[in-house]
Amino acid sequence: MILKLISPMKKFHKPLVSLMFVILPLSTIFGQIKSENQSEESKIESKRIKYFNTTEINFGFGIGDSNGHSSIGMHLVNGILIHSNFSLGIGLGIDKLYLAKNLHEVTPSLSLDIRYCFLKEPLSLYIACDGGYLFNLTGYNLGYRTEAYGIDLNGVYLNPSIGSKLIVFKNKSLNLSIGLKIQETTINYVSMILPKYEQLINFKAGLSF
């Protein structure tokens, strides 16, 4: 009975083997083409410019000659991911620096923001530095300093920091950081001695997407 079943199959043996020799190379070729297409897509995806927005609030307290001073503010950064770990952005911010109980100054700023992330997601550590130009909006009320060429209410600041980034949903992340903010003093004619540069321990918390 078994021999009767096997003998008809012998007729199809050679055609089946021949068909397999055709199908297997074709499947390998199509598999390679698909793999190459996926690889090309991933390369194209990696070359695409990725934009991001970071919105942060910050709080700082003075140290050294700035002891007793504090600040609070908000900063918006828009930029691009140059690499999966490296970003470059332009920031707009506004801060309120408290010098005494009834003495404060408001300083909008334009800055450059540089960040580098390391370690793996969803929790990454990063080092960052933002710095730029600021203008004292309330300087006329507080008492401005005069230079040889007129009134100077402008200044610069620098804020190196280290922080952590937690991915909360897809491309959205929660950022927490601590740094040292060094801010040029833009007023001097007040009833107290002010340092040439304000120094503050600066905390930031925000969301990136």
Could you list the pLDDT tens digit for every one of the 209 residues in the chain?
A: 444 444 444 444 555 445 444 444 544 544 555 455 555 544 544 556 789 999 999 999 999 999 999 999 999 999 999 888 899 999 999 999 999 888 899 999 999 999 999 877 788 999 999 999 999 999 877 777 666 545 678 999 999 999 999 988 878 999 999 999 999 998 877 778 889 999 999 999 999 99
Burial of 182 (0-12, 13-18, 19+ CB in 10 A): middle
CB proximity list for 85: less than 8 A, separation 6 or greater = 116, 117, 118
On the question of a cis peptide bond just before residue 122, with omega within 30 degrees of 0, the verdict is yes
Which two tokens mark 67? 């002891």
> Measured in whole angstroms, how far is the alpha carbon of residue 106 from the centre of its chain?
25
Q: Quote the pLDDT of residue 169.
A: 83
Q: Judge contact between 163 and 175, C-beta under 8 A.
A: yes
| Distance between first and last Cα of the chain | 72
What is the β-pairing status of strands 86-100 and 146-147? unpaired
pTM equals 0.76
Q: In 3-state terms, the chain is what percent helix, strand and coil (to 5)?
A: 25, 55, 20
CATH class of this structure's domain 49-208: mainly beta
Residue 144, pLDDT score: 75
> Residue 52 in contact with residue 209, Cβ under 8 Å?
yes
- Residue 166: what pLDDT? 92
Pairing of strands 50-62, 197-208: antiparallel
